[in-house]
Amino acid sequence: MEKLSQQQAPIYEALEELRKMRVVPFDVPGHKRGRGNPELTRLLGERCMNMDVNSMKPLDNLCHPVSVIAQAEQLAAEAFHAAHAFLMVGGTTSSVQSMILSVAKRGEKIILPRNVHRSVIGAMVLCGAVPVYVNPQCNERLGIPLGMRVEDVKKAMEEHPDAKAVLVNNPTYYGICSDLKAIVKLAHDHGMYCLADEAHGTHFYFSDKLPVSAMEAGADMAAVSMHKSGGSLTQSSLLLIGPGMSQGHVRQIINLTQTTSGSYLLMSSLDISRRNLALRGRETFEKVMEMAEYARNEINEIPGFYAFSREMINGDSVYDFDVTKLSVHTLDVGLAGIEVYDLLRDEYDIQIEFGDFGNILAYLSIGDRIRDIERLVSSLSEISRRFGREKVDLMTQEYVTPQVAVSPQDAFYAQKESLPLKETAGRICSEFVMCYPPGIPILAPGERITKEIVEHIQYALEKGCTITGPENSEITRLNVLKGEKDGTLVF
């Protein structure tokens, strides 16, 4: 393929050429450059509607790229130091699922931490792979799961030498990183692939002051959420692979589930954002780190709040920390994280990323400004003064150790019955239950429901967390496997 420059944006440039040609459209989409839907055109603008086009020869085809999309993927691979990069338009969910489907099939094992995104377990429902969980260490004060200890990963590999891969969060939602290089080496020494969920690690590729990126660490695949910290449109993502993966095979896997009508708005946003990061990413993320550090210092002066950072590093379960993540512990001010989340939105018109039982996360990226940081800090100061109270006995633990009884696929497709939530303890769950965001399951299909988990769900509901996953939208009932007869499940 021809030598390209990171100054180029092949998809965007091809769209601009098409716009100048004033081609008469007798193809889809049916809005015909916006003329057929004036209300939507008023909302999004003529320029946007003009670029919402169908695949055609000058614009290439996402399922089998040979020209401008192939060039955009080549440039993305170079920018992210990967053997190949795939443009993904189904969000990082589709990237994560493609990773799992590329390395495992029914009955095969994948080693992973339990605090994974629902897309990981969803992929196992699709392909029939079986999870081998490495329970992450937990920080008792903050009530959050940490990374995987290397010795725990090694033990899992020795106990399950037939596992196909190990998956690592790089980083977790809270910014915590495992020792990725050591885990990659362990995986390869045991003949396994190493996969990285980098939904929150796009910026790692553009700074030597941040934790190591998956490709630099030698991982085989990485799912990268360009739309989170990288600036592209929501639902656009990259799937990166190392030299040990077959590009053709991975493309076939992607094409099993990804749309044949790839959005050129999403693809051009990936193209332009990659160019932006390649040319200006280092200086941009330097500023993001400075803003986050300023915010942490200011927040730590406010009574009751603790913005944690690199002081958590212990060389193992917290091997490194993403300092762009503005995670703040709230329990010392007498408020659950979700309560602070609601107060910021309802009283101060500030929308943060999420609040859980004991923490909030303000997501900082390339679009933030120092004056907005100052507004957040002053609002937290006022919350401490107006709403702070004596620390009360609030539930702190975000992580509940799972009891896996059945594979996710078998549980999801088994015969089931619906029971009131309070009557489900002891039964096997057949659906997902999670707080969203971050989308990490409290329960996944195939896991045994315990009294502790029922209390955890009830507490989350009482505090106003958004619970998603169950068929019953009020979360008053859960689907469980229909029953066990002599230890055998009914399918």
CATH topology of domain 281-387: Aspartate Aminotransferase, domain 1 (3.90.1150)
- Sign of the CA dihedral running 65, 100, 249, 190: positive
How far, in Å, CA of 233 to CA of 256, rounded? Answer: 23
Which pLDDT belongs to residue 484? 59
Which pLDDT belongs to residue 39? 96
Q: What is the pTM of this model?
A: 0.94
For residue 462, the number of C-alpha atoms closer than 13 Å in the C-beta half-sphere is 10
The count of residues in the chain is 491
What is the dihedral angle through the alpha carbons of 86, 89, 94, 100, rounded to the nearest 10 degrees?
Answer: -10
Which pLDDT belongs to residue 109? 97
* CATH 3.90.100.10 boundaries in the chain: 408-489
Per the prediction, the chain carries an average pLDDT of 93
Which pLDDT belongs to residue 436? 73
* Strand pairing report for 165-169 and 176-177: unpaired
For residue 341, the number of C-alpha atoms closer than 13 Å in the C-beta half-sphere is 22
Cβ–Cβ under 8 Å, residues 121 and 444? yes
Q: Which residues pair with 306 in a beta bridge?
A: 329
Q: How far from chain centre, in Å, is Cα 445?
A: 19
Which pLDDT belongs to residue 486? 38
Q: Which two tokens mark 357?
A: 């039982």
Cβ–Cβ under 8 Å, residues 224 and 233? no
How far, in Å, CA of 170 to CA of 99, rounded? Answer: 15
How far, in Å, CA of 101 to CA of 292, rounded? Answer: 36
Which of 84, 88, 78 has its CA nearest to residue 279?
A: 78
Which of 64, 74, 84, 72 has its CA nearest to residue 220?
A: 84
Residue by residue, pLDDT tens for the chain (491 residues) are 568 999 999 999 999 999 888 889 999 999 999 999 999 999 999 999 999 999 999 999 999 999 999 999 999 999 999 999 999 999 999 999 999 999 999 999 999 998 899 999 999 999 999 999 998 888 888 988 899 999 999 999 999 999 999 999 999 999 999 999 999 999 999 999 999 999 999 999 999 999 999 999 999 999 999 999 999 999 999 999 999 999 999 999 999 999 999 999 999 999 999 999 999 999 999 999 999 999 999 999 999 999 999 999 999 999 999 999 999 999 999 999 999 999 999 999 999 999 988 999 999 999 999 999 999 999 999 999 999 988 766 666 666 778 899 999 999 999 999 999 999 999 999 999 988 767 788 899 999 999 999 998 998 888 888 888 999 989 999 999 997 543 445 44
Cβ–Cβ under 8 Å, residues 14 and 58? yes
What Rg value do the Cα atoms of the chain yield, rounded?
23
Which of 352, 321, 458, 304 has its CA nearest to residue 395?
A: 458
How far, in Å, CA of 120 to CA of 107, rounded? Answer: 15
Q: Which two tokens mark 219?
A: 């991982």
Q: Which CATH architecture has domain 408-489?
A: Alpha-Beta Complex (3.90)
Cis-peptide, bond into residue 29, ω within 30° of zero: yes
Cβ–Cβ under 8 Å, residues 456 and 434? no
Which pLDDT belongs to residue 490? 47
* CATH 3.90.1150.10 boundaries in the chain: 281-387
How far, in Å, CA of 95 to CA of 86, rounded? Answer: 9
| The residue type at 171 | P
Cβ–Cβ under 8 Å, residues 127 and 106? yes
Angle of helix 68-79 relative to helix 264-299, nearest 10 degrees, comes to: 20
Q: Which two tokens mark 303?
A: 């009574």
What is the dihedral angle through the alpha carbons of 121, 124, 126, 128, rounded to the nearest 10 degrees?
Answer: -150
Query: Could you identify the residue written with the tokens 């993305």?
Result: 76
| The residue type at 383 | I
Phi-psi region of 107 (alpha: psi -120 to 50; beta: other; left: phi over 0): left
Task: Report the run of H or E that residue 241 belongs to, with start and end.
Answer: strand 237-241
Which pLDDT belongs to residue 439? 73
**Class of residue 470 by CB neighbours under 10 A (exposed 0-12, middle 13-18, buried 19+):** buried
| The residue type at 217 | A
Q: What angle do CA 202, 204, 209 make, to 5 degrees?
A: 150
* Strand pairing report for 359-363 and 325-329: antiparallel
486 phi, psi to nearest 5 deg? 55, 40
Which pLDDT belongs to residue 485? 43
What's the N-to-C CA distance of the chain in angstroms? 52
pLDDT per residue over 77-121, tens digit each? 999 999 999 999 999 999 999 999 999 999 999 999 988 999 999
